[in-house]
């Protein structure tokens, strides 16, 4: 008899003693605590920092990829193999192929050990927390669905890699254009192979059935020296030419593969974006929409895990979140790196250097965040 119980996570014995992340948003009032938490501020600072880093850089450009990053990318080789050996089964239901539950059990059995092999020896104490974020990012095995909450868990994983010092400032471009893009390609495969339902989708009023972050980072890519304006991103020639260069266009291409009919009918929110005059304004609007429609919604945040890296503790009153600085000439970084959301450096900074001699720091978070205006005020 098939069990619908949550898959057991196979944590390495040497990491069992580490504190496990917990779900801490248990009622509507907890959402307000989350919106003032270190994790919330670090998350938005991280998203904006990555946006600043990737502007003007395409997926096919040359950029720095560290040894640690290359090891992390190997995770998806193993995950893809598990899909290869767990094909969908014949069943009367059109959606929600039950083979996904078998894949999920295999993934939970292996993912912590696979991740541990990717981390430097002195960082293996983070395998439990990071492994929870990673294992929760591929969908729900009971409902056989996937949505922006699962995507959020992967962004927690990415943010945690920087906060733990496993990734450094020089990894910020590869973080989005290699590691996150590889994740995006993989979850698309899961969605198509196992016919996964969109989790919590609002249909035509959603930005997308499954994703949100690739539109934020994808619009950031295009915010500096874009080869086409927003009004052209639905043109067939633009999609064909640039789907392998820009995350935003790859998302449009995928939507057109899985949906039929006029784009405005099945993806109205995305269609309406084409009327916005600049990619930087699109990016700013998407970040605000993400805060309102995803990060402030109890049905999404109730499933989020919190730990030491992504802390539920409240930020210091007066802490601000700043938006990405987009659409400007890239400037060299200084040796002083700012935190995701606090103690932002006033001097102009932008994307990370590609050299191996980027100085290390002991700041709370290790990603350069340059900004010009506040995204959502400050903590009170």
Q: What is the pLDDT of residues 307-351, one digit of tens each?
A: 999 999 999 988 888 778 888 655 444 332 333 433 333 222 333
pLDDT one-digit tens code per residue, 176-196: 999 999 999 999 999 999 999
201 or 299: which leads in pLDDT: 299
Report the mean per-residue pLDDT for the chain: 84
Predicted confidence at residue 14, as pLDDT, reads 66
Q: Which long-range contacts (CB under 8 A, 24 or more apart) does 98-105 make?
A: 98/2, 98/144, 99/194, 100/139, 100/141, 100/144, 100/190, 100/194, 100/196, 101/2, 101/141, 101/142, 101/144, 103/190, 103/194, 104/7, 104/138, 104/139, 104/141, 105/7, 105/141
pLDDT one-digit tens code per residue, 268-281: 888 889 899 999 99
pLDDT one-digit tens code per residue, 240-259: 999 999 999 999 999 888 88
Under the banding of pLDDT at 50, 70 and 90, the label for residue 72 is very high
53 or 267: which leads in pLDDT: 53
Burial class (CB in 10 A: 0-12, 13-18, 19+), 248: buried
Assign residue 307 a region (left: φ > 0; alpha: ψ between -120 and 50; beta: otherwise): beta
- Checking if the pLDDT of 67 tops 90, the result is yes
SS3 content of the chain, % helix, strand, coil (to 5): 50, 5, 45
Q: What is the percent of the chain where pLDDT is above 90? A: 67
Dist CA 290 CA 311 (whole Å): 20
Provide the token pair at 225.
């020296």
- Checking if the pLDDT of 234 tops 70, the result is yes
- Asked if 23 and 303 touch (Cβ cutoff 8 Å), the reply is yes
Under the banding of pLDDT at 50, 70 and 90, the label for residue 17 is low
Work out the average pLDDT over 282-298. Answer: 94
Please state the pTM of the whole predicted model. Answer: 0.86
Nearest alpha-carbon partner for 337 in 165, 161, 169: 169
Under the banding of pLDDT at 50, 70 and 90, the label for residue 3 is very low
């Amino acid at each position: 008899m098939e069990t619908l119980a949550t898959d057991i996570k196979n944590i390495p014995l040497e990491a069992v003693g580490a504190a496990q992340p917990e779900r801490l948003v248990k009622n509507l009032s907890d959402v307000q605590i989350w919106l003032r938490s270190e994790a919330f501020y670090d998350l938005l600072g991280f998203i904006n920092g990555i946006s600043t880093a990737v502007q003007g850089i395409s997926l096919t450009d040359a950029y720095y990829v560290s040894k640690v990053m290359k090891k992390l990318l190997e995770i998806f080789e193993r995950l893809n193999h598990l899909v290869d050996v767990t094909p969908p089964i014949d069943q009367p239901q059109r959606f929600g192929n039950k083979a996904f539950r078998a894949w999920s059990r295999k993934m939970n059995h292996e993912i912590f050990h696979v991740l541990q092999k990717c981390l430097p020896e002195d960082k293996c104490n983070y395998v439990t927390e990071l492994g929870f974020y990673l294992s929760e990012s591929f969908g729900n095995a009971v409902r056989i669905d996937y949505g922006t909450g699962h995507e959020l868990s992967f962004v927690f994983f990415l943010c945690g890699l920087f906060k733990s010092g496993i990734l450094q400032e020089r990894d910020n471009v590869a973080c989005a254009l290699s590691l996150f893009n590889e994740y995006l390609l993989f979850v698309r495969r899961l969605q198509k192979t196992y016919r996964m339902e969109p989790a919590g989708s609002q249909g035509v009023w959603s930005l997308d059935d499954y994703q949100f972050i690739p539109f934020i980072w994808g619009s950031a890519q295009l915010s500096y020296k874009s080869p086409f304006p927003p009004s052209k991103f639905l043109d067939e020639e633009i999609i064909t030419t640039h789907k392998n260069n820009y995350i935003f266009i790859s998302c449009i291409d995928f939507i057109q593969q899985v949906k039929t009919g006029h784009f405005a009918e099945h993806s109205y929110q995305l269609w309406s974006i084409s009327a916005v005059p600049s990619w930087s304004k699109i990016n700013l609007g998407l970040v605000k929409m993400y805060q309102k429609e995803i990060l402030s919604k109890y049905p999404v945040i109730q499933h989020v895990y919190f730990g030491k890296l992504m802390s539920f503790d409240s930020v210091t009153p007066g802490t601000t979140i700043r938006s990405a600085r987009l659409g400007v000439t890239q400037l060299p970084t200084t040796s002083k790196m700012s935190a995701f959301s606090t103690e932002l450096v006033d001097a102009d900074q932008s994307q990370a250097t590609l050299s191996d001699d980027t100085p290390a720091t002991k700041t709370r978070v290790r990603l350069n965040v340059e900004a010009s205006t506040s995204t959502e005020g400050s903590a009170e």
